[in-house]
A = this chain, B = another copy of it.
Amino acid sequence: MATMTAAQRREQARREYDAFIKGCPTNQLLDRLSDKWVSLVVSALASGPMRYSDLGRKIAGVSPKMLTQTLRALERDGILTRQVTPSVPVRVDYELTPLGHSLALLLMAVKDWAETHIEQVHEARERYDAANEEQAA
Contact = CB atoms under 8 A, between A and B. Distances in A.
A92 interface: no
Contact of A28 (B27, B109, B114): B114
Contact of A125 (B31, B77, B102): B77
Q: How large is the interface on A (under 10, 10 to 19, 20 to 34, 35 or more residues)?
A: 35 or more
B124 A78 contact: yes
As for how many copies of this chain the complex holds, the number is 2
B106 A110 contact: yes
A106 B113 contact: yes
B114 A25 contact: yes
Nearest to A72: B128
A14 B102 contact: no
Interface of A: 10, 13-18, 21, 25-31, 33-36, 39-40, 59-61, 63, 75-78, 99, 102-103, 106-107, 109-111, 113-115, 117-118, 120-121, 123-125, 127-129
- 6 tightest CB-CB pairs across the interface, nearest first? A78-B124, A34-B34, A17-B61, A14-B61, A25-B118, A25-B114
Nearest to A129: B76
A94 B127 CA distance: 18
Contact of A61 (B18, B36, B78, B124): B18
Contact of A121 (B17, B18, B40, B99): B99
Contacts of A121: 28, 77-78, 99
